[in-house]
Amino acid sequence: MKAEDLKLIVQEKYGEIASQSKLINQSSCCGSTSCCGEVDYTIFSDDYSGQAGYNPDADLGLGCGIPTNFAAINKGDHVLDLGSGAGNDCFVARALVGDGGKVTGLDFTDAMIAKAKENNLKLGFTNVDFVKGDIEEMPLPDNTFDVIVSNCVLNLVPDKNKAFKQMMRVLKPGGHFCVSDVVIKGDLPERLRKDAEMYAGCVSGAIEMDEYLDIIKRGGFIDLLVHKQKEIAIPADVLANYLSSEEIFAFQNGGPGIYSITVSATKQS
């Protein structure tokens, strides 16, 4: 599939999800569109309810970690959230930067931008804004942000090299990013691969973990650190549709799998 076609699919899917609640998203990996059958789209998501700044209206259950927990965000920082959705991570970051900081959310789906702005209007924050744009070609100035966060979004970007180059460009010297994302470890059985990727949030863009980390290193970032990784359990009834009992045993006992990871790295000063 061409990159532009993939982007259009992502825009359409997340435009539909923007109009739904987290509860509805739990009934299907693509909400009401049911593109992946009746599975839980929020299978990756962690519980944000204890986070300062958490706003339930902004939580659609679309993340695969809590990157702000590891992002070392300080008071007064300017934070960029890539693929900001309804604003969930932005509002958590706002609690960390305080009144003297600033948070910018970037998303390329009109419906998500509208929902995030609506949520922000209710909260009354003057130092949080939302910008429409493509992560591969960010409409943002060079050397602007102290910290970049992103939650289960970069796996949807067709050209991850471009994405990390753009992140390098907009970070201030000495700035850093912390992202939660979806990766693959090992070679998934061919019969499982397509369905497993779709089960994992309709994500066909997830790549091998070593390749993902190598892209970051090749992009010039330093101090690369994987803070957390969590295997995404695929139900046995799904596996049984594609694998023999022997293959299921191997898959569930140390074989290949789909993981969410939270990783950070720094732009040299």
Give the range of the structural domain holding residue 28, as residue numbers without chain letter: 3-266
Distance CA 258, CA 251 (A): 11
Q: What's the domain count of the chain?
A: 1
Mean pLDDT of the chain: 85
Asked whether residue 144 carries a pLDDT value surpassing 70, the answer given is yes
pTM of the model as a whole: 0.86
C-alpha to C-alpha distances, 152 to 162, 167, 190, 236, 242, nearest whole angstrom: 17, 16, 24, 24, 26
DSSP-assigned letter for residue 134: B
User: Beta strand pairing status for 222-231 and 145-151?
Assistant: unpaired
Quote the strand ranges of the chain, DSSP E.
78-82, 102-107, 128-132, 145-151, 171-185, 207-208, 222-231, 257-266
Q: Which residues contact 132 (CB under 8 A, 6 or more apart)?
A: 106, 107, 108, 110, 113, 139
Residue 48 class from Cβ within 10 Å (0-12 exposed, 13-18 middle, 19+ buried)? Answer: buried
CB 87 within 8 A of CB 130: yes
Residue 134 class from Cβ within 10 Å (0-12 exposed, 13-18 middle, 19+ buried)? Answer: middle
pLDDT tens string 216-226: 999 999 999 99
pLDDT tens string 65-102: 999 999 999 999 999 999 999 999 999 999 999 999 99
- Range with the poorest average pLDDT among 39-48, 215-224, 251-260: 39-48
Asked whether residue 181 carries a pLDDT value surpassing 60, the answer given is yes
Look at the chain and count its residues.
269
Q: What is the CATH number of the domain that holds 91?
A: 3.40.50.150
CB 160 within 8 A of CB 83: no
Distance CA 22, CA 31 (A): 9
